[in-house]
Amino acid sequence: MVSSKDRQRKLARDKFDRQMARRAAKQRRRRQIQAGLGAAAALIVIVGGIAWLGGAFDSDDTTTDAADSDTCLWTPQSTDGNANLKDVGQPPTKDIPTSGTRDMTITTDQGAPIVVRLDQTSSPCSAADLAYLAGKQFYDNTTCHEITAEGAIRCGDPSGTGQGGPTYSVYDENLPQVPSPAPSAGATPVYPKGTVAMIGDPPGTNGSQFLIFFKDYTPKGQAQYPIIGTVTGGLDTVTKIGKIPVKANAAGDKVTPATKIAVQSITVGASTPDGATPSAAAPSASSQS
């Protein structure tokens, strides 16, 4: 499997190649203009040079580059080795919002809906991923199958095994850094209560699963959960769920809720610019990317 660092290097390399190609094209056009003008048209050369410096010849390149550029890359995951994966296609790779927010509403049987503000500036591909899956009703009638030792509710796996998800994954975005040396008591936690983060198995292969932290958490080593957003509504519901007793799972880890946590639906609202009031999440808007 290609690592997230390899994918990031490939994206950077592709961007550099496009930049060099644009620069070479600009230089060719400049030489052609200068050769055609001649000494007798010195004034036109000056005017043309000013226009070139002002970017008059750049519009075609900018438009082409924006249209050709992939914002996100999705890594295929095979069902051959994991029958818990579900094929629902893949989100688009272009025209994905890279700023602003959008609200994700999680409706459970445990109380008021949980509203999560997804951060498209720091995690555009993860936000697009969740919005796409919500639009496919991927999360409807599923469960939050774990209450983790880190103090988080784990949701988003239709199989309830921890191995489920779509037949693609997205690399880590907005992975926090753990201070070194370890932060002292009272320091700002790496994952404050109400933080929502993606979780993949193995780390870096994020699909549909996410964590909602019901208490502050700072890992002792490297952080593994890229942050996608923050709870802005229904935090009381999150706290209530966090108090549900747990029992041992098949591996002997005490993480399985003793009471079933049913997720009735997840919807994602439309993208909202920074500073604007987000629109309410609705099924008709959840498939937007």
For 157-209, how does the pLDDT look when each residue is reduced to its tens digit (9 = 90+)? 999 999 999 999 999 999 999 988 777 777 899 999 999 999 998 999 999 99
Residue 207 vs residue 275, higher pLDDT? 207
Specify the higher pLDDT residue, 114 or 48. 114
For the segment 39-59, the average pLDDT, to the nearest whole number, is: 49
Q: Can you tell me which residue has the tokens 């036109």? A: 44
Mean pLDDT of the chain: 82
The CATH-assigned architecture of domain 77-268 is Beta Barrel (2.40)
Report pLDDT for 286: 38
Instruction: Report, as an integer, the average pLDDT of 117-124.
Output: 97
Among left, alpha and beta (phi > 0; psi -120 to 50; other), residue 10 is: alpha
Q: How far apart are CA 220 and CA 191, in angstroms?
A: 12
CA 218 to chain centre: 21
Determine the 3-state secondary structure of 39 from DSSP: helix
Using the Cα atoms of residue 202, residue 203, residue 205 and residue 207 in order, give the sign of their dihedral. positive
Contacts of 231 (CB under 8 A, 6+ apart): 114, 115, 116, 117, 194, 195, 196, 212, 238
Distances (CA, A) of 71 to 112, 206, 251: 35, 17, 39
Nearest to 84 by CA among 138, 156, 158: 158
Q: Examine the pLDDT at 119 and tell me if it is beyond 70.
A: yes
**The predicted structure's pLDDT at residue 4:** 52
Q: Which of 54-58, 82-86, 101-105 has the lowest mean pLDDT?
A: 54-58
Q: Which of 142, 154, 111, 112 lies closest to 257, judged by CA?
A: 154
- Mean pLDDT computed over 67-87: 89
Q: Report the share of the chain in percent with pLDDT over 70.
A: 71
Q: What is the dihedral of CA 200, 133, 69, 95, to 10 degrees?
A: -140
Q: In the numeric block, which tokens belong to residue 160?
A: 């309830």
- pLDDT higher than threshold 80 for residue 11: no
Mean pLDDT confidence for 273-288: 55
| Alpha carbon distance 241, 238 (integer Å) | 5
Close Cβ partners of 194 (under 8 Å, ≥ 6 residues apart): 212, 213, 230, 231, 235, 238
Q: Domain boundaries in the chain?
A: 4-68, 77-268
Question: pTM for the whole thing?
Answer: 0.74
The identity of residue 8, as a single letter, is: Q
pLDDT in tens, 261-273: 999 999 999 998 8
Q: Which of 61-65, 68-72, 235-239 has the lowest mean pLDDT?
A: 61-65
Q: Is the pLDDT of residue 287 over 50?
A: no
Q: What is the residue whose two structure tokens read 């000494």?
A: 39
Q: Give the burial class of 284: count Cβ atoms within 10 A of its Cβ; 0-12 exposed, 13-18 middle, 19 or more buried.
A: exposed
Residue 206 confidence (pLDDT):
97
